[in-house]
C-alpha cells in the first residue's frame, strides 16, 4: 500500500472491512458497570448482549482517547516507514480529533520524512464509514495520499445521515434535549428526526408523531437528497430494532432501485447516546446544509 489508511470505531464499519480494505482503526472506549471496554467493531464484543443490558436500564458512558493514546496507535506505522491518512469522526461531537491532530504534530517532529494527514470527516457512524470505504478504493487504484485526502475534504459533506430515536431519554441524558421537552415528547409519542449538518453537529430536522411516520420521514429524506441512488450502496443502521430496518429497506426498494442496501447494527459507543431503537439511513447525496 502506498500509505496506511486509519479511522476509528465510531465509523461503525463492518469488522470484515478491516482486512478487506487493508486498514486499521482506533478502538473507542465506553464504560458500563465500572468496566471500560474498547469497541472493536463487533470482533469480540457481544453487541446484542450490550443492548440487552441497555434495555434493563444500564447506563453506559463514553470517553475520548487522549493524544498519547492516539500517538501510540499511529506510531507503529510511521516507524515502519509508512505515511498515514487518518479519517476521524466529527470534531463537533468530541475533542478526539484535536487529540489526533496533536499526536500527528508530535510524530512529524520525530519522523520528519513521514506524511501524517488528518481529515475531520464531520461525520459519525456509517456517514464516516462510507467516506473511509471510498478512500480505500482510491488508494487501491494507486491514488497518492494527498489526492485521497483532498477528495475526502471535497466530498465529505455529500455523505448524508438521517436518523430517529424511539426513546428520548438518552438524548436528554446526553444534553441534546431538555428534560421538559423529552417528557412532553414521550407523553405525546413524538419522534424527532435528526441529521448531521455541515458543521458535523447533530441537529433536529423535524418531528413526527408515531414510529411509522418517523420511518416514512427517513425514507422521504433519502429520496429528496440522494444522488444517483441506482449506483450507490445505501446503509440502514439500527439499534436492536432490525424489523424496523427491514421495513425501511422494503419501503426504499418499493420507491426506487438502489444499487444495494446494507443493514448494520449500531455499536455501543453511539448507542450509549441514542439508546435502543435508533434507526438511521446513510447515503451519498446533496451537500449538507
For each of the domains in the chain, give its residue range(s) and CATH number, in order of start.
4-157 (3.40.50.10170), 158-284 (3.30.1180.10)
The per-residue pLDDT string of the chain (289 residues; one tens digit each, 9 = 90 and over) reads: 689 999 999 999 999 999 999 999 999 999 999 999 999 999 999 999 999 999 998 989 999 999 999 999 999 999 999 999 999 999 999 999 999 999 999 999 999 999 999 999 999 999 999 999 999 999 999 999 999 999 999 999 999 999 998 876 666 555 544 443 443 444 346 788 889 999 999 888 888 989 999 999 999 999 999 999 999 999 999 999 999 999 999 999 999 999 999 999 999 999 998 889 999 999 999 999 8
What phi and psi values does residue 161 have, to the nearest 5 degrees? -140, 125
pLDDT, residue 124, reads: 95
DSSP 8-state secondary structure symbol assigned to residue 46: -
Distance CA 8, CA 2 (A): 20
What phi and psi values does residue 168 have, to the nearest 5 degrees? -80, -5
Distance CA 254, CA 233 (A): 16
Q: Where are the alpha helices (DSSP H) in 165-228?
A: 169-173, 179-187, 211-225
Report the 10 Å Cβ neighbour count for 241: 19
pLDDT, residue 151, reads: 98
pLDDT, residue 10, reads: 97
pLDDT, residue 191, reads: 85
pLDDT, residue 172, reads: 53
Tell whether pTM > 0.85. Answer: yes
Amino acid at each position: 500500500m502506498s500509505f496506511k489508511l486509519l479511522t476509528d470505531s465510531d465509523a461503525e464499519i463492518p469488522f470484515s472491512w478491516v482486512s478487506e480494505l487493508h486498514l486499521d482503526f482506533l478502538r473507542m472506549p465506553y464504560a458500563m458497570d465500572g468496566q471500560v471496554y474498547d469497541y472493536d467493531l463487533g470482533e469480540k464484543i457481544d453487541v446484542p448482549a450490550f443492548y440487552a443490558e441497555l434495555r434493563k436500564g444500564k447506563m453506559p458512558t463514553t470517553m475520548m482517547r487522549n493524544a498519547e493514546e492516539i500517538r501510540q496507535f499511529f506510531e507503529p506505522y510511521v516507524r515502519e516507514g509508512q505515511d498515514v491518512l487518518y479519517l476521524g469522526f466529527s470534531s463537533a461531537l468530541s475533542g478526539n480529533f484535536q487529540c489526533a491532530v496533536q499526536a500527528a504534530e508530535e510524530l512529524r517532529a520525530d519522523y520528519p520524512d513521514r506524511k501524517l494527514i488528518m481529515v475531520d470527516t464531520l461525520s459519525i457512524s456509517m456517514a464516516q464509514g462510507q467516506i473511509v470505504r471510498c478512500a480505500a478504493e482510491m488508494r487501491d487504484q494507486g491514488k497518492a495520499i494527498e489526492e485521497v485526502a483532498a477528495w475526502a475534504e471535497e466530498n465529505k459533506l455529500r455523505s448524508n445521515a438521517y436518523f430517529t430515536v424511539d426513546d428520548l431519554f438518552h438524548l436528554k441524558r446526553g444534553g441534546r434535549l431538555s428534560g421538559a421537552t423529552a417528557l412532553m415528547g414521550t407523553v405525546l409519542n413524538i419522534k424527532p428526526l435528526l441529521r448531521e449538518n455541515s458543521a458535523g453537529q447533530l441537529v433536529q430536522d423535524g418531528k413526527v408523531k408515531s414510529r411509522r411516520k418517523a420511518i416514512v420521514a427517513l425514507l422521504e429524506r433519502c429520496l429528496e437528497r440522494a444522488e444517483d441512488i441506482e449506483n450507490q450502496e445505501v446503509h440502514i443502521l439500527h439499534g436492536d430494532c432490525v424489523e424496523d430496518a427491514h421495513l425501511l429497506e422494503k419501503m426504499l426498494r418499493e420507491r426506487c432501485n438502489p444499487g444495494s442496501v446494507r443493514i448494520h447494527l449500531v455499536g455501543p459507543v453511539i448507542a450509549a447516546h441514542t439508546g435502543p431503537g435508533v434507526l438511521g439511513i446513510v447515503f451519498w447525496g446533496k451537500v449538507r446544509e
